[in-house]
Chain A
Amino acid sequence: MAYLIKRLLLFIPTLIGVVSLVFLILHATPGSPATRVLGEHATAESIADLERRWGLHRPLLEQYVNFVISYGQGDFGKSYRTGEPVLEQILRELPYTFHLAVAGMLIAVVLGVTAGVLSAVKPNSLFDNLGRIFALLGVSMPVFWSGMILIIIFSLNLRWFPIIGAGDMKAPMEILRHLVLPATTIGLFSTGVIMRMTRSSMLEVLDQDYIRTAFSKGISHSRVYLKHALRNAAIPIVTIIGLSFGGLLGGAVLTETVFARHGIGSFLIDSITWKDYPAAQGCIFTISLMFLVINLLTDLLYGLIDPRIRHE
């Protein structure tokens, strides 16, 4: 419990740090955001008017404090483009990105860990070599290209899955049909990363004396691999799964664009294109928050996997 409280307390300054970074990104560059939105040919009056409306005429420190307080209260401001509260828009888009990220991670973890364990169990076998080539391809293929290749094969030629969109949120089968290709696309990259880490971590553990002892005691192979080896190899695997989630969220931005899906990623790109800074800041914060929560859960999982970490 004390471990959980300590981790949660550490989460607060990190969160304030992220809000500060989001604020800094917009304000650290020369020139007013109002000038960037209105363009070079805007008159001084219109720029000053816009700055007053957005509160940019106030001292920087005051702007920063107001920004942090309003984010703390869940107020992400209003979209410059639509005038709607940014939080409402984000909450509307969030389920689409959530589905994509969870499905992608599920594919990556199941495929990556299974292939990694099998590769390590029989190193330098045909399966191991094929697995390593697949993993290398996975980490080398940009997600936006693998998405397009999947569209060409499975949507345009075989016509198995829809090309674009996310389907009707009220029809679960529709959602699933629309999710298969994007989730596979987004999961492929992480599969490669997770497989490589699982393989190397398992190889290291399988070389330990206690594994040899377990085998010599006559314990079944599957039990030794899954209970004795995988559990001890789990910390680096869990770490890489947590870190892969960051890449996966970045990949969501690209995948949603390729498949023209709804979601925070495509909303962010739209906001950047339209120079809608409050919306872009809200999206960046939300995605970072998701990443931080996953990192926090990963840290908490360490404690479950290895009791020594909990007691430190």
Chain B
Amino acid sequence: MKGASLVQMLRKSPTAVAGCVIVALVVLSALFAPWIAPYSPVDMDLYSRLKPPSLKHPLGTDELGRDLLSRIVWGARVSLKVGVISVGIGMTLGVLLGLIGGYFGGVTEKTIFSFVDLLLSMPSLLLALAIVATLGPGITQVMVAVGISLVPAFARVTRGSVLTVKEQNYVLGAKALGASHVDIMARYILPNIITPIIVLATLNCAFALIMEAALSFLGIGVQPPDPTWGSILSDGRMTIRTASWVSTFSGLAITITVMGFNLLGDGLRDVLDPRMRRILQAK
């Protein structure tokens, strides 16, 4: 499907449009954080501790007098960065494993997928927790841990798609013409299986955001002074009786963004699914 027609199809799906708008707004606020945020996210003002929302501080302040709006806007940067890079790590490794396993089959496939299935035998959050427990807390460690926990999903989806594509005539033709394995995988197979991978990547962005927030919430994720939505929410737990706005607004930021990615992923899946595309085109 060409880029222009994909955009046209996406515009016909209200789910995808809603998701696109939400994600675009969050990405823009993260990009323009220095201009949008009224204060520094780390500057403390002990005279303004736990102030409720007001004109001066639209979302209130936290227990150290830091402006909550500024922390949430800057937090979007860290949370999105962790989410996108984690998905990048998971996608790169997963697609590579799925591609190699699916293409070569036999012992290679069995070996790779025994390991992938092993990773699947552990709940994702637990796997990420175990990896962070060993590597220690920090932004890079969180990205690696979340990324690895996403590998099995990408590997399985890629293998499934490779198995259907590798017997197609154009792949067999490339083989007959003497193209190398790497060439066949990179130039003939990968471009034809990219659709489900893109959908999965979008949906996994939502998952990665929740995972990052969960790890930071548990205190073993991204460490202070970097503000992330999970750590702001964790701070808010301590003051839930006296200043419920800290946890309410930071949680709302996570929920809305995750919902945006989920809507976009669902919309993309509907548009890129040939059956659903026919229905949308008929409308």
Contacts and interface: CB of A to CB of B under 8 A. Distances in A.
Interface of A: 14, 17-18, 20-22, 25-26, 28-29, 36, 136-137, 139-142, 144-145, 148-149, 151-152, 156, 246-247, 249-251, 253-254, 257-258, 268-269, 272-273, 280, 284, 287-288, 291-292, 295
A140 B19 CA distance: 12
B16 interface: no
Given A250-B126, A291-B123, 10 more contacts: A26-B134, A29-B134, A142-B213, A148-B240, A152-B247, A253-B129, A257-B218, A268-B129, A272-B129, A280-B133
A51 B232 CA distance: 38
A288 B129 contact: no
Nearest to B234: A144
Contacts of B138: none
Contact of B130 (A25, A136, A246): A25
B220 A14 contact: no
B222 interface: no
Contacts of B117: 14, 17
Contacts of B237: 148, 258
A295 B117 CA distance: 13
Select the residue from B118, B122, B124, B244 with max chain A CB neighbours within 10 A: B122
A269 B255 contact: no
B129, B219, B259, B262: most-surrounded residue (chain A CB, <10 A) = B129
A182 B280 CA distance: 41
Contacts of B131: 25
Interface residues of B, number: 42
A28 B132 CA distance: 13
A136 B263 contact: yes
A269 B259 CA distance: 28
B65 interface: no
B130 A280 contact: yes
Nearest to A257: B218
Contacts of B218: 253-254, 257, 269
Given A136-B263, A148-B237, A247-B123, A142 B255 contact: yes
A73 to B, nearest CB: 21
Listed residue (B123, B254, B255, B262) with the most chain A CB atoms within 10 angstroms of its CB: B123
Contacts of A254: 125, 214, 217-218
Contacts of B135: 29
Contacts of A142: 210, 213-214, 217, 233, 251, 254-255, 258
A26 B247 CA distance: 34
A284 B130 contact: yes
B126 A139 contact: no
A145 B233 CA distance: 8
Nearest to B134: A29
Contacts of A273: 219-220
Contacts of B92: none
A149 B251 contact: yes
28 contacts: A17-B117, A17-B118, A18-B118, A18-B122, A21-B119, A21-B121, A22-B130, A25-B130, A29-B134, A137-B255, A137-B259, A139-B262, A140-B262, A141-B251, A144-B217, A148-B233, A148-B237, A149-B251, A152-B248, A246-B124, A247-B125, A250-B123, A251-B125, A253-B125, A272-B129, A284-B130, A288-B123, A291-B122
Contacts of A20: 118
Contacts of A253: 125-126, 129, 218
A140 B121 contact: no
Nearest to A13: B114
Contact of A148 (B123, B124, B236): B236
B10 interface: no
Nearest to B114: A17
B262 A136 contact: yes
A132 to B, nearest CB: 10
By Cβ-Cβ distance, the 5 closest A-B pairs, closest first, are A250-B125, A145-B251, A246-B123, A140-B259, A250-B123
Nearest to A272: B133
B123 to A, nearest CB: 4
Contact of A288 (B126, B132, B219, B233): B126
Contacts of B119: 21
Contacts of B133: 25, 272, 280
Given A144-B214, A149-B248, A272 B123 contact: no
Given A254-B214, A272-B129, A284 B255 contact: no
B134 A25 contact: yes
Contact of A145 (B132, B134, B241, B255): B255
B251 A284 contact: no
B126 A152 contact: no
B206 interface: yes
A246 B123 CA distance: 5
Nearest to B206: A140
